[in-house]
Amino acid sequence: MEGLMLGMAGAALAAALAGTGSAIGTGIAGQAGSGVVAEDPEKFGRLLLLQALPGTQGIYGIVGLFLVIGLLGDLGMGAMTVGQGWQVLFACLPLAITGLTSGIAQGKVAGAACGLVAKRPDEMGKGMIFAIVVETYAVLGLLGTILLLGNIT
């Protein structure tokens, strides 16, 4: 059972930390967005899009969680050895840590992009691109986790 516990801990970390990153990130962007909407309510749609950008880390976290659950299903519940459990736990770390940090960082960039939209609404695309560059590392973290989970022995 210890193996299962460790595996679960990994899945929980992935979902919880990446979700926290998204929560903080969307929070930062949302605050900036509200400030802009106070001046110009018509920009709401675009700002909502910007606020949603740091939300993907949380989704990636859930993806990681489901991948681990799938793995547990493949191995048979409780059949996971302690060694395998540690492997799963470590495999989840790239997603968990990059999700947390990139979510926060991306939130800051998206928040700044809200200011960009306030002054130059036509340049919103560029603001999005800045935010997406940060997300690269969450995507790579997810990828790392997927690849590591695929190599559990």
Partner 1 sequence: MAVSRMKRIQILAHDSTRNDVVAALRNEGVLHVTSPSIELEAIGDGETRRKREREIASELGKLEYVRNFLKPYYVPSKKGMEKMFNPKFLLDEEELRATVDSFSTEARYQSCVALEGRMRSAEAEIVRKTALATEVAHWADAGVDVDAMVDTRLTRIAPLTVEAGEFEKFRTSLEEAVPDSEFLEVSRSGATVYLVIMYLKEMESDVALILKRHSARWADLSGAAGEPKAAAERLLDEATGLSGDIESMKEEATELALDYETILLVHDDVAERLAKESVQESFGSTGATFVVEGWMRSRDEERVRERLDTITTAIGGSHDSPDASPIHMATRDPEPGEDVPVDLNNSGMVSPFEFVTTLYSRPVYWENDPTPLLAPFFIIFFGLCVSDGGYGITLALVALWLMSKMPHGGARQFMKLLLMGGISTTVVGLITGGWFGIDPNVMPAFIQNAIVLNPLQEPMKMLNVVFIIGIVQVFTGLAIKMIVDFKAKRWLDAILDQLLWIVFLSFLVPLGYDFILGGYVPPGIAAIAGRGAQICGVLVILTGARKNANPVMKLLGGVLKLYDIVGYFGDVLSYARLLALGLATGAIAMAINGIAEMAMEIPVAGPIGAVLILIAGHLFNLAVNCLGGFVHSARLQYLEYFAKFFTGGGHVFQPFASARRYSEVRRQES
Which parts of this chain interact with partner 1 (CB under 8 A)?
49, 52-53, 55-56, 59-60, 62-63, 66-67, 125-126, 128-129, 132-133, 135-136, 139-140, 142-143, 146-147, 150
Let me know: does 55 contact 138? Beta carbons within 8 Å: no
Q: How far is the CB of 141 from partner 1 (least distance, A)?
A: 9
Look at residues 117, 122, 116, 105 and name the one whose alpha carbon lies nearest to residue 53: 105
DSSP state for residue 54 in the 8-state scheme: G
Q: Toward partner 1, which CB reaches closer, 43 or 82?
A: 43
Query: Whole-number minimum distance, CB 127 to partner 1, in Å?
Result: 11
Q: Closest distance between partner 1 and the C-beta of residue 142, in Å?
A: 5
Max Cα–Cα distance, the chain, nearest Å:
58
The CB-of-82 to partner 1 minimum distance in angstroms stands at: 25
**Pick 76 or 125: Cβ nearer partner 1:** 125
Contacts of 69 (CB under 8 A, 6+ apart): 11
d(C-alpha 73, C-alpha 141), whole Å: 23
